[in-house]
Every structure is written in structure tokens, then in C-alpha cells.
Chains A and B, each alone.
Chain A
Amino acid sequence: MSDDMLKGIANNVFTGAGDLDSSDGRPADVWNTAVELGWPWVGIDESAGGAGGEQDHILSLLRAVGAHGAAIPLLETWVGLQVLAAAGHDIAAAGVVAVAGARPTDTVVYNPAAGTVRGRLPGVPWADAADQLVVSVHGAGDIHALLVDRGADGIAITREDNLAGEPRDTVEFDDVPVTVLDGAPPAEAVLDLIALGVVAQTVGAIETASRLTREHVTTRQQFGTPLVRLPVVSSMLAQLASERELAATAFAAAAGDPNPELVAAARVTAARSSTVVARHAHQLHGAIGTTREHDLHRTTRRLWAWRDEWAPPQWWARRLGTTVLDRGVDGLWDLLTAPPKGN
């Protein structure tokens, strides 16, 4: 299936879906449609229980999630299914899967003797709504991830939301029994996969904020003329558009070649572009953009939330900068001028 077709389908689904917001930590109703259409299995090998297709396809769907501000656990479930599939689990009826523990600051302790996990993880997307939690662990040798049943004894979940009203719950494990996911990818690989998905969603949200802003300044009249006729307004629109293109370009580079450097670069770039786009979009919308009545907040609140989730941009920048210093200036030049892969 072509990317454009997929984008068209996703747009139709979200446009006709009614309320796209989360309620009390539960996904918007459109999640059921997404599951029926098999979206969480897109880009996962058929041999592992997935729907096949390219990773680009799921990234296009995530871009649409961001563009529409749909509160559904597509990214988290898709990543969770990948980890489960890598460990040889049946993923046909996995339900909502939450992923946790992959951030560098996350610390949970696995007790191999008892087969249990202990620890506290803040800011876990969709934890309360999940059927299963895939928990990455650091420093446990060959064991990289654990599977926890949402209903297991010893789990305490506190419901919280991010700035965009998406569930980011705090999870406490008090010696909770787990299944070890042998063959699961390491925490850092899981984090990179999530980051790429966050960038896809971010680019979608940036594109919507950009479109709304363009529509506003070309139709809204002040001083007897459309706002965009004012040179300062036109200039800010141009800066916003330039950031949009830079973010989309960095995303395309990382999607085509998702190595740690390009993923980190895309994550940092998307965060910085989010800052400029959200600021300019609100400034150019004027007072109406500051209301819940107007749609702009559906993307700008997400941009403000997503830029700092799953490790803040400073952490990603530091990781990239460390690689650059390790490889030296010739290595940096090779990185900058490497022939693009994919797309």
C-alpha cells in the first residue's frame, strides 16, 4: 500500500471519528477502529504475528495520529508488540500494551530468584488502560525486558495526565511477578524506536499547527487586509514553515536510516522546531488560539508535552555530542555527508 493511500485512510478514520480525546485515562473510541484495521500490527513481520508491511507505514499512521491529536495508544502498543514478538510471544490478541522503563532515568529492579520486579516509574503512557505492560530493565545482563500483567498482585497505578490530557500514569511495582521476555531488544533500542514514533507524531502535529496558522492569517482581516499582508506576520509564517520543513526532513532522514545518531538528531530537531512552531502559531492566532474552543491547542499542547517526553532533548543532544567527540572531526564529517538511505 502506498504512503499516500495510507495517509488518506488514516485521515478519513480520524475525521469521522468524533471525540478524539482521552477520558479518565482511556483511549478515544477511535482506538477500536484502529485495532479492527490492524494498525498496531503494521510493520511487524507476518512470521512474528504482525501484519507485515514497511516500518514507514506505521510511521505514516503515527504522523496522522499527531496531525489529528488522537489520544490512542498506537505508538505504545506497536512498540510493545515488537518487543513481545521479538521474545516469541503470541501478539494476535495483545490488547493495549504499555511500555515503560526504557528512559535512562528509569530504574526498576528485577529479582531473578523470586521472578519479581520492584520500583517506581513515573509518566508511563496508558499504564492504567493497558492489558499488559512491557517493562525494560537496565543492567540485568541478558535480560532486557519483562512482561507484567496489568491485573497482577502488587501493582499500584496513579492516574495522571500530560499537558495535552494524555494519560501518563505513575506505576509502582511491589514485588510483582513477571515473565522474562527472552530475546527482547535492549532498553536503548526500545527507546530509539519510541523516539522515532514520537518524532513522527510531532511532525504530524507541527504540520497541523502550520496549516491552521496559514488558514488563519490568510483569512483573518485586521486593518482592512488579511493578516499575512503585514510583513511581520508573513515573516513569522515563513519561519514557522522553515522549521516545519527542517523537522520533516530530519524525520525522513531518521525514518530511512534509523541509526542512533539520526534518531537522536531528529528527536532534538523536532523538539526545537516544536518550540518555534507552537510559539509562532499562537502568536499569529492571537487571542482565539488561547481558547479550548479553537482547535489549535490540540496540537500545541501536544508539542509542548512530547518535546520533553521519553528523555528530554538535552539528553538526546548529549548522546549525539558524545558520539561526535568520540569519533572526532573526520567521523563527524562522514556522519554529515553519509549517503541517505531509504525514501
Chain B
Amino acid sequence: MTTTVEALNELRTDVAALVQQWRQSGRYTPRPDAWLRGYDRDFTRALAERGWIGMTWPRDLGGQERSNLERLVVTEELLRGGAPVAAHWIADRQIGPAILRHGTRELQDEFLPRIAAGELTFCLGMSETEAGSDLAAVRTTAFRDGDDWIVRGAKVWTSQAHRSEYAYVLARTDTSGDKHAGLSELIIDLSADGVEIRPIEDLQGEHHFNEMIFDDVRVPGRWLIGEIGNGWTQVTEQLAFERGGPERIFSTWPVLEAAIDALSADPPDETHARLGALIARGLGLRRMVYDVATALDRGEAPITAAAMTKQLGNAFEVEVIETIRELVPTEPRPPGPGLANQLGDALLASPGFSIRGGSSEVLLSIIGRAEART
């Protein structure tokens, strides 16, 4: 799939214009890490109306059949604006593609058009208290009851579960064998009987994390994604693809933007070299993100490249914060508008960067194994 540079530029301008319009009319305030924390259903619907959610999916499933490169342009401009995109980000990036790859046509028809229309928020039920980086250790079970599944267990670190209609859940459908076998992916309706959602406050004192408790929740059989027992393969594939996106380098962009504005007038002497060193790194990393998107468009599975990009990118996001901290004459303050507050917001969010979506330890292990095989 090829897209002309002109078409990409036009798309970029269109997305930037919408973001600017919302920002300047005060309908949202830019903040770092907004793809996880900034939640606004109206903004999500505004994007959906323009066809910018699920845009790579088939048209008859609500998509636009556009390229991953076009999707990159859209997601980049949303990150640039620190826009409130958490209501659809996970479904657009991860759940939709998983249903598209492995789901039945019936399942695709049931969910994908509504995701693309911005009507549904999905959250990710992967981690558990005893299964963090070791995802295969999940203990949540799903057992057959007629055509249905009965799910019992608990998930944790589930961002936006309290605002979501559905959860994607990794559960054990067979407890007899190896821990990587017997796992399956299911969709759970969070309004169903037996679902309890408890808030977890993060470092900001903010509520986006939750614990989800499933007490014999009944799930229709058709909501199992892909093959029974193939969950491990499906979930690692899904994680591999979602890793290499621009949110792994641009989570702290709004702070950098505010800092450059503040520094431009009278930059201290060391500013130019420090900023230049930072941007040099950012340019290389952004090209890696671009290369991942074009590899996906060629139908490749750039698993190692995506892991490298995320690992280096997360370190870069923190380097942005620390470089600014050393250059601007301000102390970080609790989250809010303004450079000092954005700096504090980003700093408090930063430990999560290299934990979510595959911790740096796990990514280095994946890269190390790939290297040893070469």
C-alpha cells in the first residue's frame, strides 16, 4: 500500500487543524501521557466522524482501508497536541487489530464498526497481581458452561476500566498443561453480573488504573477471540505489533513543546548543545517508528525492531524530562497547566513508560534472544 507524500501532508494538516481547534477553544488542555490519561468521548467521536479510528481496517467493518503510514500521521498529530484520546486508543491500536486478525466474521461485525464509530471504550485485562512481566502466569480462568464461558479471577493495572464498556481479557481455559498452553482471549461486558471494578490511585493521585474482579461472569461463546488455547501466541503477536508506535517516543512531547517556547527568548548557554543532543536522538527514533509502520504496510512482522524502538524510545521520553529539568529555571510542580506543572506531571507518569506494554527488562530479553539467534 503506498500513499503519496502530498496525501500524507494533507492528512497531517487536517488532523492538526482539528486538534488546534479543540485546544484553542479550551475544550481540552494538553498534557503529557494523554493517550493513557486524557479521556473525552466527544473528542473520540469527532475523530471517528472523520474516519480516523480503525482507519486501516476494511471498509465493510467501519474502517477506511488506509495504510499504517497514514495511521502514524494521525496518531503523531494527536500526541503532538497532548489530546484526550484514551477513550479509543487501546481499541484502535490493539483490540480492533486482534479481533480483525483472529476473530470470526460475526465477532468482527459485532465490534469493529462500533469501535471505528467511537462508541466503545475497551480496556486491557492482561496483568494480574501474580502475573506482571510473566504474563503466562495468569490465573484468571474461563470454563465452559453450555455455549458460554464462566470467567473467574482478577485483573490489575487496567487503565480506564471504570469508563469502559468492554474488557479484553487473557484467561486460562485449560489448567492441565504447560503455562503457555491453555490460554485464550475473551471479551467481557463490564456491565455484566459479577464484574466489580475498584480504583487504584497512581503517583499523581489520579484514577486511571483499576482492579477488575470477575466473580463467575458469564461470557457468550462467540466472544472468544481466535482459537481456544491459542491465546499465548495471539497475545504475544498483538503486543509485538503495538510496541513500535509513536506513543513510545512522544508521550512527553507537550512538555518539550512548552519548554522550547519558554527557552527560545533567552536560552542559557548550554541549551543549544543539550537540546541538539536530545533532538538528534529523537530524529533517529522517529525514523525507527516510521520504519516499523512501513514494515507493517509491507505485511512484515517487525518484532525485534519494535522492541528496540520501545526500549530506546521510553528511555528517550525520560531523557526529555531530565534535560528540560536541567535547562529551565523552574521546579517541577503537581500536575496542571504551565511548564512547571507539566514537568511534574510527566515526571510522575514516567515510571510507567518502560513498564506498560512490555517492560524494558522483557524487551531486552526478547532482543537479546533474537541477537543470539542471528
Contact = CB atoms under 8 A, between A and B. Distances in A.
Contacts of B108: none
A332 B371 contact: no
A286 interface: no
B272 interface: yes
B77 to A, nearest CB: 9
A11 to B, nearest CB: 17
Most chain B CB inside 10 Å of its own CB: which residue of A235, A245, A320, A321: A321
B287 A249 contact: yes
Contacts of B308: 241-242, 245-246
Contacts of B363: 238
A250 B279 CA distance: 12
B371 A336 contact: no
Contacts of A337: 12, 73, 76, 286
A325 B275 contact: yes
Nearest to A335: B283
A214 B287 CA distance: 25
Most chain A CB inside 10 Å of its own CB: which residue of B263, B276, B366, B370: B276
B368 A317 contact: no
Interface string A196-224: 00000000000000000010011000000
B365 interface: yes
A214 B374 contact: yes
Most chain A CB inside 10 Å of its own CB: which residue of B256, B263, B367: B367
A269 B256 CA distance: 20
Contacts of B277: 268, 272, 313-314, 317, 321
Nearest to B308: A242
Interface string B250-288: 000000110011011001000111111101111111111
Size class of the A contact interface (CB-based, 8 Å): 35 or more
B8 interface: yes
B279 A332 contact: yes
Interface in A127-153: none
Contacts of B158: none
Nearest to B285: A246
Contact of B287 (A218, A228, A253, A313): A253
A279 interface: no
B195 interface: no
Contacts of B284: 246-247, 249-250, 253, 265-266, 269
A18 interface: no
B364 interface: yes
A336 B256 CA distance: 13
Nearest to A245: B308
B1 interface: no
B172 interface: no
A329 interface: yes
B365 A234 contact: yes
A239 interface: yes
Nearest to A336: B286
Contacts of B111: none
Contacts of A313: 277
B165 interface: no
B174 interface: no
Contact of B271 (A214, A265, A321, A336): A321
B18 to A, nearest CB: 16
Contacts of B263: 325
Nearest to B261: A329
A228 B368 contact: yes
Contact of B371 (A241, A253, A320, A325): A241
A247 B264 CA distance: 29
Contacts of A217: 372
Given A246-B284, A250-B287, A269-B281, A234 B372 contact: yes
A247 B312 CA distance: 12
Contacts of A325: 260, 263-264, 267, 271-272, 275
Given A238-B367, A241-B367, A324 B260 contact: yes
A319 interface: yes
B100 to A, nearest CB: 27
B296 interface: no
Given A242-B308, A265-B284, A329-B257, A318 B273 contact: yes
Contacts of B267: 325
B80 interface: yes
Contacts of A264: 276, 280
B288 A245 contact: yes
B216 interface: no
B189 interface: no
A272 B283 contact: no
A214 B374 CA distance: 9
Interface string B337-374: 00000000000000000000000010111111111101
Contacts of B260: 324-325, 328-329, 332
Interface in A284-321: 313-314, 316-321
Nearest to B12: A337
Contact of A321 (B76, B273, B283, B285): B273
Given A214-B374, A245-B308, A318-B272, A234 B287 contact: no
B202 to A, nearest CB: 27
B291 interface: yes
12 contacts: A237-B371, A241-B368, A242-B367, A265-B280, A317-B275, A317-B277, A317-B280, A325-B264, A329-B256, A337-B12, A337-B76, A339-B9
Closest 6 CB pairs of A and B: A321-B276, A234-B368, A317-B276, A321-B272, A238-B367, A320-B276
Interface of A: 214, 217-218, 228, 231, 234-235, 237-239, 241-242, 245-247, 249-250, 252-253, 261-262, 264-266, 268-269, 272, 313-314, 316-322, 324-325, 328-329, 332-333, 335-337, 339-340
Interface of B: 5, 8-9, 12, 73, 76, 80, 256-257, 260-261, 263-264, 267, 271-277, 279-288, 290-291, 305, 308, 311-312, 361, 363-372, 374
